[in-house]
Structure 1
Amino acid sequence: MPRSNPSIINNYESHLNWSANTELVGLVFELAPKADVSIYPQYTIGLHAWFLDQVRAVDPELSAYLHDGESEKPFTISALDGKLVSSGKQLHLFASNTYHWYVTALSKRLVTWLAQWLKNPPTEVNLRNAPLQIKSCQITHAVTYAELLNSDHEDTIALQFLSPTSFRRKGHHLPLPMPTNVFHSYLRRWNDFSGMPVDQETFLAWVDDHVLITRHLLTSAKVLAGKKGAVTGFTGAVEFGLSKEAAKQPEFYKLFYALGKLAPYCGTGHKTTFGLGQTRLGWSLQATPEVPNVESFLAKRIEDLTDIFKAQRKRTGGVRAEEIAAKWATILARREMGESLQVIAQDMGIPYETVKTYAKLARRALVNNSDSV
């Protein structure tokens, strides 16, 4: 894979220094296409895979943990921030523009790997034959969990949700920033990586009793969700405050503000390693980027097909039936967009023959549904 030339190495090293005890780091890469180029709507799968490949080249054990580990994922990645235009069944990027890509690390082990990796950084991110040159990289955050816990704070926590954000609740997606869901999302990461775990049930009961939404400005959109399926998520801004009685439990009062400051590192909700749930501190009325038309179309098609296949499989029921319905829907919708079964299999991490079989079964099921209408 392309590696950096000396001038880029020097540029990285002059800006990318953090202390040895740092436990959380946020990076922003400035990317530029070498020419006008088109990428596929689910390109965040490619960004996810590229990042894990970078880890694998240096530390295969860490890469396997990031990919398959049962705990919370100790990293997030964003979608590309910049001008993306729907062009037929793809998204168009322009050589005259730059794009920003955010990566965060939530564990000391991954932060240590990042420091080593950036001593010899790559020169480009390759999205399925669409090379994006890395123009620069900057630190956006660098801190320890103890510093989050002990830092000063305002009376309220204002958060901006820059990319669609959603939670899982009772087998469905919840596109609302309910306090218990939001802070449960942060607490899971805190308990896994901070070394200062807190009883989840007791803290969330306190959140339910004392955390208030003081104002919000939200909108919703259907978006693609990682390797399979689609979700309805929210973007916008929310401000959380506390009741007067909240301070009677000072350890939770203190943790509440620490978790708010953790949000930019860990993101909010699920699929944060595929670009969803990107979160920033502060209140802003600035409009969040719209989901490109082709991505919205594909997300809606996947959602509609999933509903059809789930309805047909009601007799079997259960999580397994829902997972198969989502896989069938994703495969069929992407085939309708002109993508090859080989590429779909690679992106979804499913054997080619299985994807081929699922595509046939999905087409047959769709025909049967049309015949029954």
Structure 2
Amino acid sequence: MPYSLVFNFVPETLIPPDYATGRHLNALFITAVNAVDPELATHLHEQKTTKAFTSSPLQKLPPSRRDVPPQIPDILKAQYQRPIPAQTPCWWRVSLLDEQVFGRLSQLWLNLNPRQPWHLGAANLHITSILGTPQSTQPWANACSYQELYETASDSNRRLNFQLATPVAFRQQKYDTALPTPESVFRSLHNSWKRYSGIELPGFATDNIFPCYFDIRTDILDFEFRKKGKSSKFIGAVGRIDFRILGDVEPATIKALNTLSQYALYCGIGRKTTMGMGMALARSPRRS
């Protein structure tokens, strides 16, 4: 059963911009896991591909107006140029793709003490709540069994729409590409589904999927992996992209593709999903 958990927190001290990136929040999550299950922390850290969790960059909660709740933007902030001041309400998303991982971390959730700060670099964070069910104002919190994802997926909907909230990129042989083609998007989702769901998707194929609308741009992330004095920069796509299933396609294939579209919330798309890249949501059809 995949989980998408949103941690709401308030920093006690300012957060330097470098520490708001997915790379440092990845380290924060591994450190928190290590406190309750060192063996699991080592396992998660050493996974090379299709990892069992994802982590978002840090997000500042949008200010709310009177009688209007804060709205989460479609494109999230992947990195910051200025420090985040103390006492700024923030949130951070972690998704877990393996049911056993969630169970092994039960002590982490049960023993969460709002008075005991978490440490992000030199900054102290106070967790105020963890959201794990759908929220009208927080689209990134949810939980759903793999079986339910498959059983509730449509076998007739031919329009598959995605909001790419953080940069999405794919590995092609030795190099990366930021172009979200149907093959790269749905193969990425399918690879994760095969690894963790235990449910076969009969009829899965990408031959009849074609882009029908896109409003995307590229964004550059600098993870500052220091190798020979150089930092590692990644180019990814953000924005809206819609696909349409065309031609004579079996209902089983349509159901498989709709299943994977809904699964994107949990597993993300493409590379570096444990470091804030590839966050994606299935969206309802655009209004004409």
Amino acid at match of 2:272: K
C-alpha separation between the residues in 1 aligned to 2:164 and 2:280? 5
Structure 1 residues 155, 234: closer, same or farther in 2, change over 3 A? same
Structure 1 residues 141, 216: closer, same or farther in 2, change over 3 A? same
Structure 1 residues 114, 226: closer, same or farther in 2, change over 3 A? farther
SS in 2 for 1:246: coil
Amino acid at match of 2:214: H
Amino acid at match of 2:23: I
Which residue matches 1:177? Answer: 180
C-alpha separation between the residues in 2 aligned to 1:267 and 1:225? 18
Maintained 8 Å contact 1:44/1:226 = no
Displacement of 1:55 after TM fit? 1.4
Which residue matches 1:55? Answer: 33
Residues 1:167 and 2:170 aligned together: yes
Maintained 8 Å contact 2:55/2:274 = yes
Structure 1 residues 161, 85: closer, same or farther in 2, change over 3 A? closer
Which residue matches 2:215? Answer: 217
User: Counterparts in 2 of 1:1-373, with a 5 A limit?
Assistant: 23-40=1-18, 43-82=21-60, 91-123=82-114, 124-139=117-132, 140-153=141-154, 154-197=157-200, 203=204, 206-207=205-206, 209-225=207-223, 227=225, 229-247=232-250, 250-282=251-283
C-alpha separation between the residues in 1 aligned to 2:142 and 2:245? 26
Maintained 8 Å contact 2:20/2:58 = no
Maintained 8 Å contact 1:85/1:93 = no
C-alpha separation between the residues in 2 aligned to 1:169 and 1:260? 22
Larger radius of gyration: 1
Which residue matches 2:69? Answer: none
SS in 2 for 1:245: coil
Displacement of 1:81 after TM fit? 1.5
Displacement of 1:226 after TM fit? 7.5
Structure 1 residues 68, 85: closer, same or farther in 2, change over 3 A? closer
Structure 1 residues 142, 131: closer, same or farther in 2, change over 3 A? same
Unaligned runs of 5+ in 1: 1-22, 286-373
TM-score by length of 2: 0.80
Amino acid at match of 2:266: Y
Higher helix fraction (1 or 2): 1
Maintained 8 Å contact 1:43/1:127 = no
C-alpha separation between the residues in 1 aligned to 2:97 and 2:212? 29
C-alpha separation between the residues in 2 aligned to 1:64 and 1:96? 32
Structure 1 residues 155, 165: closer, same or farther in 2, change over 3 A? same
Structure 1 residues 222, 118: closer, same or farther in 2, change over 3 A? same
CA RMSD of aligned residues (A): 2.6
Q: Deviations over 1:27-82 (max 9, x none)?
A: 11112222444242674322111211221222222112111134520110100112
Which residue matches 1:339? Answer: none
Structure 1 residues 197, 167: closer, same or farther in 2, change over 3 A? same
Which residue matches 2:138? Answer: none
Structure 1 residues 85, 24: closer, same or farther in 2, change over 3 A? closer
Displacement of 1:155 after TM fit? 3.6
Higher strand fraction (1 or 2): 2
SS in 2 for 1:239: strand
Maintained 8 Å contact 1:166/1:234 = yes
Structure 1 residues 136, 54: closer, same or farther in 2, change over 3 A? same
C-alpha separation between the residues in 1 aligned to 2:13 and 2:247? 57
SS in 1 for 2:129: strand
Structure 1 residues 226, 252: closer, same or farther in 2, change over 3 A? farther
Structure 1 residues 41, 133: closer, same or farther in 2, change over 3 A? closer
C-alpha separation between the residues in 2 aligned to 1:246 and 1:31? 46
Q: Return the structure number with greater relative CO, CA threshold 8 A, min gap 6.
A: 2
Displacement of 1:225 after TM fit? 4.3
Amino acid at match of 2:179: L
Maintained 8 Å contact 1:42/1:226 = no
Maintained 8 Å contact 2:163/2:280 = yes
TM-score by length of 1: 0.63
